[in-house]
Structure 1
Amino acid sequence: MSEQSPYGASNGGWAGRPPAAPPKKRRKWPWVLLVVVLLLIGGCVGVVALLAKGVSDESERTVRIRYEVTGTAEGVAISYSTWRDGDMSTNQETARSLPWTKEVTTKGFIKGGSLSVTLGQSGGKAACSVTVDDNAPRRATASGTFATATCSGF
């Protein structure tokens, strides 16, 4: 015979209320995924903001460019170009004697240019030099009739 509870029911089944089900475990991976996605988005926004500030600062920075030609040649053709506020400016001059110098200031995201020196029919020797701010100069030399020296990449 089965035991009876004081209320007259047998203990063969449940005694009053069913046993409690184990509590459901909450899934943690959606929250972890949300945090990871938010961190990635925040990091991307931070990187974009830093890049934008760097580009803005560089486009507003003013630099001084010094073009210089030295040597023994006479009647040389000098051509120099400079980026100014997004536009290329090219100038040509003829120097009867050397040395020759020109200094310009420029700003804008694109900076730089080139300097070319072409010797005349009488030949001789010439050297060009371009210095941006206080950086190391770019140099080139030429000698002989109609020889050309080009300083670029600054």
Structure 2
Amino acid sequence: MIRIDRDSPTRDDVHLLLSEHLADMFATSPAESVHALDHSALSAPPITFWTAREEGDLLGCGALKLLDSPTGPARHGEIKSMRTAATARGRGVATLMLRHILDHARARNLEHVYLETGTEDYFAPARRLYARHGFTECPPFADYVLDPNSVFMKLGL
């Protein structure tokens, strides 16, 4: 049975998965268009980080970053570092993680969840996953700027 729990991005097996994630991002996108976070950035207080595991084996990870709100509690979040281990692809891990993150966002009473992903073919499965769950394209959000290598998406909760 696959379990999703809060975890540390600095844990050895997670660190390795995140390093693979970053390497793939830099291999498929220009450096100035890579917005993936490393394990230390994913440890920051406004970020909640989860892993999916089965019998202790790491299957994937994902995070929710709360976006700043100058007038009170955060009302918006951003999905970060969604990644499925190569050995677990095709098993629905990304769907389980996405649902978990969205459930957490709803429990926090967030109004919207945003994300940034790439325009390259490599990112097509991710874009399809998010579209299947109701995400639609939107203008850049937070500190992002228009970038021909980025697709910005949001979901109202």
- Structure having the larger proportion of residues in helix: 2
TM-score (norm 1): 0.28
- Structure having the larger proportion of residues in strand: 1
Higher Cα radius of gyration: 1
